[in-house]
Amino acid sequence: MSPKAVLGLAGALIVVLLVTSSVYIIPETHRGVLLRFGELVETDIPAGIHFKVPVIDKVRQFDVRVMTNDLPTRQYLTIEKKPLDVDSYIAWRIQDVDEFYRATGGDELRAISLVSSRVDNGLRDEFGIRTMHEVVSGQRDELMEKLVNRIDNTVIDELGVKVMDIRVKAIELPQSVSDNVYRRMRTEREKLAQEFRSRGKELAEGIRADADRQRTVVLAEAYAKAETTRGEGDGEAAKIYAKAYQGDEEFYRFYRSLTAYEKSFADKSDMMVIDAKSDFMRYMENLSGVGAGQ
């Protein structure tokens, strides 16, 4: 290759390098700023193809879409001085690229830190003038709307950032407070259970005493009725025995003697010492009973 051809190729490469280093493209989702020797010379550069001076100029691009960032869990006091652990997040975007770069140097992490600190202070102030019920359910939406307007009016002028939304994801009692609440709830439930048990024992004793009283009354009435029936039966039996005795006195005496013998000699090991001439033994000597006791 001739020297002229080499010089021509080198010149073409230099031209290509100069052209490529002079052209830059900003995507649709971004905006840019142009720095010359570190000094801001052009801001809020829209999406598209643009030109710059090679080596001298430097381009910074920033995403202007809505971004969401979780905030660290913070503890705030309500108007009743009750601590609450609050977990929240913010939705924001860069609205004024010029102001954003001047305030943060184009550092998104610094911007998030500054916005978070303002949200933290705002939540502390809003929680401090409300009760626990209001921040948990009663005025939660109103609190968020008021806080968004308050923070947005501040950061849009100071940081070039627009706060789209602030939301509380969770509100919980601190662990120490939760433990105390659970202990108090357990104590109250145990106290209530003890009251129910005491009331049940009292009712059980009353029912048991009433049942014992009714049992005593029923047994007494049954015993009285049994005694009456037994008395009537004994009287009727006495009448029957008397009538039978009057009908055949000798047979009655014989029957009574046989009954007495049966009871007296029921066991073979029983022993009885008695006079053979006694009246008890009259039917043992003579079935007619004659001669006994004479």
Residue numbers in the chain where pLDDT is lower than 50 = 291-294
Domains of the chain: 3-63 (no CATH), 67-172 (3.30.479.30), 248-294 (no CATH)
Structure confidence at residue 294 (pLDDT): 43
Q: Are 92 and 66 in contact (CB under 8 A)?
A: yes
Q: How high is the mean pLDDT of the chain? A: 83
pLDDT in tens, 173-206: 787 766 666 777 888 888 888 999 999 999 999 9
Would you say 132 and 177 are in contact if contact means Cβ atoms under 8 Å apart? no
For the chain, what is the HEC assignment?
A: CCHHHHHHHHHHHHHHHHHHHHEEEECCCEEEEEEECCEEEEEEECCEEEECCCCCEEEEEEECCCEEEECCCEEEECCCCCEEEEEEEEEEEECCHHHHHHHHCCCHHHHHHHHHHHHHHHHHHHHHCCCHHHHHHHCHHHHHHHHHHHHHHHHHHHCCEEEEEEEEEEEECCHHHHHHHHHHHHHHHHHHHHHHHHHHHHHHHHHHHHHHHHHHHHHHHHHHHHHHHHHHHHHHHHHHHHHHHHHCHHHHHHHHHHHHHHHHCCCCCCCCCCCCCCHHHHHHHCCCCCCCCC
